[in-house]
A and B are shown apart, each in its own frame.
Chain A
Amino acid sequence: MRHRYSEHLFAFALLLPAFVLIVAVALMPASETLWTSLHKVSMILPGSDFIGLGNYERLLRDGRFWNAWRNTLYFTAASVALETLIGLAIALVLSQNFPLRGLVRAAVLVPWAIPTVVSSRLWGLIFNTDFGLANYLLRSAGILESNKNWLGEIGWALNVTVLVDVWKTTPFMALLIMAGLSTIPGDLYEAARVDGANMLQRFFQITVPLLLPVMLVAVMLRALDAFRVFDVIYVMTGGGPADSTEVMSTLTYKILFSATQFGYGSTLAGAMFITLLGVSLVFLYALRNRLEVD
Chain B
Amino acid sequence: MSDTKLSRRNMVKVGVGAAIGAAAATSAGTRRRTSAAVRRQEEVQLTFAGIKMFGPDQINAVLRDFEAANPGIKVQYIELPTPNNSTEVHTYLVNSLNAKNGEPDVFTQDCIWIPEFGGAGLSLPLDDFITEEDKAAYFPGLIETCTWDGKTVGWPWFVDGGFLYYRKDLLDKYSLAAPKSWDELTNAAQEIVSKEGNAELQGFLWQAKQAEVLVCDWVEFLGSAGGSTLTGLDVTINNDAGNQALQFMHDLIYDLKITPEAVLTYDEEPSRQPFTGGNAVFLRNWSYVYNLAQDPAESKVVDKVAFEPLPHFPDGKSTSCLGGYQFGLNASSKHPEEAFKLIEFLSSPESQKRYALEIAIAPTRTAVYDDPELKEKNPFMVGLKEVFTGSTPRPVHPAYPQMSLAMQSGLSAALANQTGVKEALDDIAQQLKDIIG
* A binding-site residues for B, Cβ under 8 Å: 20, 23-25, 28, 31-33, 35-36, 39, 41-44, 46-48, 64, 124, 128-131, 149, 151-154, 237-244, 253-255, 257-263, 266
A259 with B210: in contact, given A43-B2, A149-B262 (CB under 8 Å)? Answer: no
Residues of A within 8 A of B90 (CB): 257-258
**Separation of A254 and B403 alpha carbons in the complex (Å):** 12
B265 close to A130 (CB less than 8 A): no
Residues of A within 8 A of B264 (CB): 149, 151-153, 240-241
Residues of A within 8 A of B418 (CB): 154, 241-242, 244
Q: Closest Cβ of chain A: how far from B258's Cβ, in Å?
A: 14
Q: Closest Cβ of chain A: how far from B36's Cβ, in Å?
A: 29
Q: Nearest chain-A residue to B424 (Cβ)?
A: A242
B412 close to A241 (CB less than 8 A): yes
* B binding-site residues for A, Cβ under 8 Å: 1-3, 5-6, 8-9, 12, 15-16, 19-20, 87, 90-91, 94, 98, 116, 119-122, 200, 202, 209-211, 260-265, 267, 270, 273-274, 277, 279, 398-399, 401-402, 404-405, 408-409, 412-413, 415-416, 418-419
A240 close to B408 (CB less than 8 A): yes
In the A-B complex, list the 8 residue pairs whose CB atoms are closest, starting with the nearest: A240-B210, A152-B264, A129-B262, A24-B19, A262-B1, A241-B416, A242-B413, A259-B402
Residues of B within 8 A of A35 (CB): 6, 8
Q: Nearest chain-A residue to B91 (Cβ)?
A: A257
Q: Closest Cβ of chain B: how far from A108's Cβ, in Å?
A: 30
Q: Is the interface of B mostly helix, strand, loop or mixed?
A: helix
25 contacts between A and B (CB under 8 A): A23-B19, A24-B19, A24-B20, A28-B15, A42-B2, A43-B2, A43-B116, A48-B5, A129-B260, A131-B200, A131-B274, A237-B209, A237-B265, A238-B211, A241-B416, A242-B412, A243-B409, A243-B413, A254-B405, A257-B91, A258-B87, A259-B401, A261-B402, A263-B1, A266-B1
Q: Nearest chain-A residue to B409 (Cβ)?
A: A243
B19 close to A152 (CB less than 8 A): no
Residues of A within 8 A of B8 (CB): 32, 35
Q: Nearest chain-B residue to A258 (Cβ)?
A: B401
B5 close to A259 (CB less than 8 A): no
Residue in contact with B279 in the complex, picked from A130, A149, A255, CB distance below 8 Å: A130
A43 close to B200 (CB less than 8 A): no
**Separation of A259 and B418 alpha carbons in the complex (Å):** 24
A-B pairs with CB below 8 Å: how many?
146
Residues of A within 8 A of B398 (CB): 44
B262 close to A130 (CB less than 8 A): yes
**Separation of A154 and B270 alpha carbons in the complex (Å):** 19
**Separation of A157 and B209 alpha carbons in the complex (Å):** 12
Q: Nearest chain-A residue to B200 (Cβ)?
A: A130
**Separation of A160 and B339 alpha carbons in the complex (Å):** 48
B202 close to A28 (CB less than 8 A): no
Residue in contact with B261 in the complex, picked from A152, A242, A263, CB distance below 8 Å: A152
Q: Closest Cβ of chain B: how far from A247's Cβ, in Å?
A: 13
**Separation of A240 and B122 alpha carbons in the complex (Å):** 31
B16 close to A149 (CB less than 8 A): no
With a 10 A CB-CB cut-off, give which of B16, B210, B413 has the most chain A CB atoms.
Answer: B210
B262 close to A240 (CB less than 8 A): no
**Separation of A260 and B211 alpha carbons in the complex (Å):** 17
Residues of B within 8 A of A237 (CB): 209-210, 265
Q: Nearest chain-B residue to A149 (Cβ)?
A: B261
Residues of B within 8 A of A254 (CB): 405
Residue in contact with A20 in the complex, picked from B19, B94, B405, B419, CB distance below 8 Å: B19
Residues of B within 8 A of A151 (CB): 264-265
Q: Closest Cβ of chain B: how far from A231's Cβ, in Å?
A: 12
A154 close to B16 (CB less than 8 A): no
A242 with B409: in contact, given A152-B262, A262-B1 (CB under 8 Å)? Answer: yes
**Separation of A242 and B408 alpha carbons in the complex (Å):** 8
A238 with B2: in contact, given A129-B260, A149-B264 (CB under 8 Å)? Answer: no
Q: Closest Cβ of chain A: how far from B19's Cβ, in Å?
A: 4
